[in-house]
Amino acid sequence: DIPSKAQFRKAITKYTGEESMIVISTHQVRDLENVIDPIIILDSQEVLVNASLEEISSKLYFDYGSQVRADALYMEQVPGGCIQVYPNAASEESKVNLEAFFNTVHAHKDVVKPLFSK
């Protein structure tokens, strides 16, 4: 429920710092978008992505609109248009949508994983 989610986010923020780590395994990433950083996505014991939100935003652009782009790695219809994820060739800022990012990573592992290989 909404009050419990807010209380959970508040506790996470209060009890974590630079020298601590909390491991959260969830499918409800939208509830945690503002408190988790870095993002680690695993697939069968393989790390596909280990990146900060800033790094994700610098390499991929998250667009909310009605124009479908040919270079979109991921596209999902939503009321009023669509969410698209595509390479951030113009180095523009965008707000990372974690659900769209997760779906992009799993749909295009071969393209996305090299972007975040260190």
Q: For the chain, state the CA radius of gyration.
A: 15
pLDDT above 90: percentage of residues in the chain: 49
15-43 tens-digit pLDDT: 777 777 777 776 676 766 777 788 888 88
pLDDT digit string (tens) for 51-65? 999 999 999 999 998
Least trusted range by pLDDT, from 22-26, 43-47, 69-73: 22-26
Domain ranges of the chain: 1-36, 37-118
| Averaged confidence pLDDT in the chain | 87
The answer for residues whose C-beta is within 8 angstroms of residue 38's C-beta and 6 or more apart is 50, 51, 52, 53, 55
Q: Which residues pair with 51 in a beta bridge?
A: 39
- Look at residue 65 in the predicted model and tell me its pLDDT: 87
E strands, the chain, in order: 39-43, 46-51, 60-65, 74-78, 81-87
